[in-house]
Structure 1
C-alpha cells in the first residue's frame, strides 16, 4: 500500500466527478476519498461555462426527448435545483430565465401543440403561447429587421420563472468546497495529475499519474472522452468507439433574446438543434449554437490527443457501417456539410445567420461573431454490436471495482443522478453504508400533490 491509499478514487474534476466526490463525502461512510484532476483547476474542459449552453436540461422544451426520457431527466435536473437552493446558490450558480420551444410553420406548429398536450401532465407549469403572446415575451423571434411580423404561423411551449441555467464550473467548485468541509474524513484533491495507467493487482487498483502513485479499493473514471480511452487501455469496452463531436457558438453583441429559445429537433439528427441562450458569463448577451463538427481529437483547444482519438475510435468495419448508415441519408449529409462550413472563415457567419434567422428573423452578420474559445467536445459513443450511435450517456460498470462514465449532454444536468447510481454500486461492492434517506430528503424532489395550494415557484 502507498501513503496515497483510498476507499474510492474519482478520476476527473468536471461536474460529474465533483458530484460523485460530494455524494461519497456527504452520504456514505467512506473514510478516505480522493479526486484526481488532469489540469490545474476544476471543470476546465466541457463543464466550463464557455464549453456548453449552460442549460439545466429538464426535458420540457427538449423536443428530441421521449416522455419516458424526459421524466428521468426531470428527476435528475431537480437534484441540481435542490442542491443549489440548499446552499443558496440562486443568482450565483443557478439562474431563472423564461424558456421556449418554438414551432415555425404548419407542421411544426401542429407538432408543438400535440407535444404540449402530451407533456403538460409531466410539467404542469408548461404554457402554450400564440404569436401575439410570443411578441410580448420574445419580440425578436416575431419581428423582422423592418419591424414587420414574420409571415409564418408560430407557437411556443415553455415557462416563466423556472430555473433554467447553471454555471456548471461554479457548481463543480461548490461540490468540492462543501465536501472538504466535512470533518473526520480524508477528502483529498490532487490537481495536475494526469492518469497514465490504471492496473489492478489483487483487489487493489494502482493508479500511476504524471506526478505520483495512488491506490484504491474502487475507482470511478469521469474523464469525458478519455474515460473510454482509459477503459480500452485496461481491456474494457472494446465494443464501443468514441466519436468526438465539437460544438461551436456564435455570440451576439447584445442581449437579443430574453430567455432560452429552442427549435424543433429534426428526429433524424442525433445532435442538438440550434438554439439561443442568455450567456451568464457574458452579461446575458445572446449566444447561438451549437454547431456540430466531428473533431479528430479528444479535447478542444488543447494540444495533442489526436493519437488518443485514433485509439479510442477503434476503426473497423462496424465503424464504417455506422458512418455509412448515417451519411446515406441526405438530411444528415447536408447537416454534416453545413456544420463544416460553419467553421470556415469568411463564409461561416453568412451561412450560420441563415439558420439562426429561424429563431431571430432580423438577425444580421453584423449582430454576431464567432465565439473564439467557446465550445467543447462531446464523446458520442458508437455501439459496435448494434452498429449505431448511442444517444445520451454511456457507462461501463465492469463489476470488478471500476466504472468508466462517458457523459455527453445532458450529463451535466444528470450529474447528481448519475453519481448516486455509482454510489450505490460502490457501497455494495465495498460494504459501505449509504444514507439514502438523507440523500432523498436533501436532493430528491417531492412532487406536490394535485391541488396543493402551498406550492411556490420562483
Structure 2
C-alpha cells in the first residue's frame, strides 16, 4: 500500500485526463501530477478508436451547429492540429475528404443556404453538384455506375484534417507530459473509490493505496457524477447513458460523409467514415440506444447507473416530455429496433442507403464490440436533458468534475486549458498562458470567460 502526495490528481485516463496532464506538465509550474485510471491501459473506453466516430469536429460538416458555435469549435479543434505540428510525423491525425450530403430538393435548398452563410468561416468548403460528388465519392452519387435518382448536393473539401485516433492521441499526451520537469505519476489499474475532503487536501482511496492532493480533477464519464455526489455536489443532476452502435460495410467511402441533422434530435445524424481501426472497412452509424449501465462492453456498472440516474418524478417528467415528441419517440423506437438481431439489418439498410444508395443487405455487418457510451446529463432543476458539455466546478473548492465533453474528444485541449486555468488560479501556481495561446491558439485566447459553474 502506498500513500503519495501530489499537487494535482486527475481521475480518468481517457483523452480528457491525458490532455489535462499534458497541459499542466508543459504549461504550468505544477510540481507533481498523478493520473489514476482503473483499467490497465490508457484510453480504454470512450477514447478508444473503436468507441467513437474518430472525427475531428470542426463545425464545417456538423449541421446542428450555429455559425457562432461552428467558429468556436473550429478554433478549438485546431488546437489538436497545432499540437500535431510539433511532430515531424504522428500516428493520430489524418486527412480524408469530408462532406455534408443533402438528398432531395428540400435538403439541397437548406444546404446551399448554409454553405453560403458559413463560407467566410470555412473558406475551404466547396459546393459540389452530383457530378463532382461522383468524382470524390462515387459510392454516394452512383448506383451501378448510373446517377442515383434523387437530387443531391454536398458541401465538402478534400485537403483538411478530419480524423483522429483519440486513443493514440491520449498516449501521445502522456509521453509528451513526461518530458518536462513536472513529476508525472501514471497509475493504471487504480480505481478511485472514494474522495474525502480535509482542511488543506483531498484523499482518494483505492485498492492500490491512498493518494493525497491539493486539487482533484475527475474526468471519468458518468462515474464523475457519482464521485461528485460523495461530496454533496451535482445532486441536482442525473445521468442518461446513450450508447452508439455501428455497422461495417466494404471499403465504399474514401472520406467522411455526414448527413443533415434533425435539430429536434439530441443525437448525431447518420454518417459514414473510413475506419482507422479497420483500414479496409467503412463504418456507418451511429444508432442510439439508452443502456442501463455506465460503461459499454465491460460488464457490470448497472448499479452505478441506477445510483447516477436518481429516478424520481422529475426524471420521469423528462422522459415523458421526450417521448411526447413524435420525432424523438420514433427515433428512439427505431434505434431500439436497430439492436434486435434478425431485423436490424433490414431497418438500418434503408437509412444507410441515403449515404450509399447502392448498398445491399449482404454488405452490412453489425460491428460487434464497437461503439461507446455517452453520459447525457439531466438537469433536475430545469427538468431538461442537457446537450453538450457537462461539468461541475464547486465554488471555493479545489475540485472539478467533468462528465461529458462537447463536441466529444475534439475539445480535449480546450477543456484542458480551461481546467488548468482554474487549477492554477486556486492553487496560486503560475500558468504559462501566453506560451500556450501562442502554441495552440495562434495567439488568440478563446477562454476569457470560459468557466463552467456548479
**Over the residues paired in the alignment, what is the CA RMSD in angstroms?**
1.2
Decide whether the 8 Å contact of 1:379 with 1:407 is kept in 2: yes
Aligned to 1:86: 86
The superposition leaves residues 398-437 of structure 1 with CA deviations (integer Å, 9 ceiling, x where unpaired) of 1200000012552310000001001001111000000011
CA–CA separation in structure 2 for the residues paired with 1:210 and 1:256: 48
Decide whether the 8 Å contact of 1:75 with 1:445 is kept in 2: no
CA–CA separation in structure 2 for the residues paired with 1:444 and 1:28: 17
**Shift in Å, 1:446:** 5.5
Aligned to 2:451: none
- State whether structure 2 residue 358 is matched by structure 1 residue 362: yes
Q: Structure 2 residue aligned with 1:224, among 221, 245, 257?
A: 221
CA–CA separation in structure 1 for the residues paired with 2:304 and 2:89: 37
**Shift in Å, 1:41:** 0.5
Aligned to 1:450: none
- State whether structure 2 residue 174 is matched by structure 1 residue 176: yes
- Alpha-carbon spacing, 1:81–1:312, altered in 2? closer, same or farther (3 Å): same
CA–CA separation in structure 2 for the residues paired with 1:416 and 1:408: 11
Aligned to 1:353: 349
- Alpha-carbon spacing, 1:177–1:155, altered in 2? closer, same or farther (3 Å): same
- State whether structure 2 residue 16 is matched by structure 1 residue 16: yes
Aligned to 2:156: 158
- Alpha-carbon spacing, 1:85–1:6, altered in 2? closer, same or farther (3 Å): same
CA–CA separation in structure 1 for the residues paired with 2:424 and 2:310: 33
The superposition leaves residues 292-349 of structure 1 with CA deviations (integer Å, 9 ceiling, x where unpaired) of 0000000000111101001101111111111111111111111111111111111111
Aligned to 1:303: 299
**Shift in Å, 1:445:** 3.3
CA–CA separation in structure 2 for the residues paired with 1:114 and 1:226: 42
SS in 1 for 2:102: strand
CA–CA separation in structure 1 for the residues paired with 2:227 and 2:33: 20
- State whether structure 2 residue 207 is matched by structure 1 residue 210: yes
Decide whether the 8 Å contact of 1:264 with 1:273 is kept in 2: yes
**Shift in Å, 1:368:** 1.9
Aligned to 2:407: 410
Decide whether the 8 Å contact of 2:243 with 2:290 is kept in 1: yes
Decide whether the 8 Å contact of 1:78 with 1:445 is kept in 2: no
Aligned to 2:110: 111
The superposition leaves residues 348-394 of structure 1 with CA deviations (integer Å, 9 ceiling, x where unpaired) of 11111110000110111111200011001001111112211111111
Alignment map for 1:57-456 (pairs within 5 Å): 57-90=57-90, 92-144=91-143, 146-183=144-181, 185-252=182-249, 254-399=250-395, 400-445=397-442
SS in 2 for 1:257: coil
SS in 2 for 1:258: coil
**Shift in Å, 1:3:** 4.4
CA–CA separation in structure 1 for the residues paired with 2:383 and 2:100: 32
CA–CA separation in structure 1 for the residues paired with 2:304 and 2:210: 22
Decide whether the 8 Å contact of 1:380 with 1:408 is kept in 2: no
Decide whether the 8 Å contact of 1:218 with 1:401 is kept in 2: yes
The count of aligned residue pairs is 442
Decide whether the 8 Å contact of 1:278 with 1:287 is kept in 2: yes
Decide whether the 8 Å contact of 2:3 with 2:209 is kept in 1: no
CA–CA separation in structure 1 for the residues paired with 2:200 and 2:314: 34
SS in 2 for 1:248: strand
Decide whether the 8 Å contact of 2:128 with 2:153 is kept in 1: yes
**Shift in Å, 1:88:** 3.4
SS in 2 for 1:4: strand
CA–CA separation in structure 2 for the residues paired with 1:11 and 1:3: 16
SS in 1 for 2:272: strand
The superposition leaves residues 138-197 of structure 1 with CA deviations (integer Å, 9 ceiling, x where unpaired) of 1111112x43321111100011110000000000000001111223x3110101110100
SS in 1 for 2:34: strand
SS in 2 for 1:110: helix
Aligned to 1:456: none
CA–CA separation in structure 2 for the residues paired with 1:339 and 1:302: 22
Decide whether the 8 Å contact of 1:37 with 1:194 is kept in 2: yes
**Shift in Å, 1:87:** 2.3
SS in 2 for 1:176: helix
| TM-score normalised by structure 1 residue count | 0.95
The superposition leaves residues 224-261 of structure 1 with CA deviations (integer Å, 9 ceiling, x where unpaired) of 11111211122111111110000011011x31011000
